Amino acid sequence: MKEVLVVLLCYLIGSIPFSYLFGRIFGKVDVRSRGSGNVGATNVLRTTGVKVALLALAGDLFKGYFAAWLGFQMGGPVMLVLCPFAAVCGHCCSVFLKFRGGKGVATAAGTILFLAPEIFLILLILLVLIVVFSGYVSLASIIAASIFPILVIAFDKSLAHIVVSILIALTVIYKHRANIVRLRNGTEAKINEKA
């Protein structure tokens, strides 16, 4: 029972919509009705600016980091899988936003930062390079998510790490399905463009 409650807590923590909250408080904007309509740091950047976006990003990173830490503290591979995954699901399907949310990238990054900091660093460098050279945050996020499980296997991590990396990668890629269509059609907005 205690484990179930902890997983539920991780989902609720993941559900805290920092992009929406900080956009409303500091930017006086409902990010759901501006830009891409996505409740994530990239849309906050487009609609309210760098400072508020950094706050939203930090909040989303913390959600994932804390959930992974909590899963680790609980002990056992099952909790190490369920707690971070619950936080990412909470971000993507927030109970506070009628089960709508962001795409899980920053919250996933927070879990990676705790579980495998060396992989986090590699993916961060890769993400930055792709954004710099292509201008597409969505493309960078999709590629980083795809490579995440491969790196986990390459670094000889545990089965729990492999399972959670696959679940998180599939979730992030699935949440980007509309972006994939727009990338194929050449209609995806770049980071410096209005969505």
d(C-alpha 5, C-alpha 2), whole Å: 5
| Non-local CB neighbours of 181 within 8 Å, separated by 6+ positions | none
Mean pLDDT of all residues belonging to the chain: 93
- Is 121 within a domain? yes
pTM: predicted TM-score of the whole model, two decimal places: 0.92
Q: What's the farthest any 2 CA atoms get from each other in the chain?
A: 49
Does 162 score more than 70 pLDDT? Answer: yes
Higher-scoring residue by pLDDT: 164, 42: 164
Q: How many domains, in total, are found in the chain? A: 1
Residue with structure tokens 């986990």?
A: 152
pLDDT recorded at residue 195: 57
pLDDT recorded at residue 194: 64
At 134, list the tokens. Answer: 């292509």
b/e per residue, 99-138, with b = 16+ CB within 10 A? eebbbbbbbbbbbbbbbbeebbebbeeebeebbeebebbb
pLDDT recorded at residue 191: 85
CA-nearest of 87, 105, 100 to 45 is: 105
4 CB burial (10 A radius; 0-12, 13-18, 19+): exposed
- Is 190 within a domain? no
- Is 25 within a domain? yes
pLDDT recorded at residue 14: 96
pLDDT tens digits, 69-83: 999 998 889 999 999
- Is 195 within a domain? no
DSSP 160-177: HHHHHHHHHHHHHHHHTH
* Full residue range of the structural domain in which residue 165 is found: 2-185
pLDDT recorded at residue 40: 87
At 150, list the tokens. Answer: 């491969």
Share of the chain above pLDDT 70, in %: 99
- Is 194 within a domain? no
Residue 66 near residue 74 (C-beta atoms within 8 A): no
- Is 192 within a domain? no
d(C-alpha 113, C-alpha 101), whole Å: 21
Does 134 score more than 80 pLDDT? Answer: yes
pLDDT recorded at residue 165: 96
Distances (CA, A) of 22 to 25, 65, 148, 162: 5, 19, 29, 33
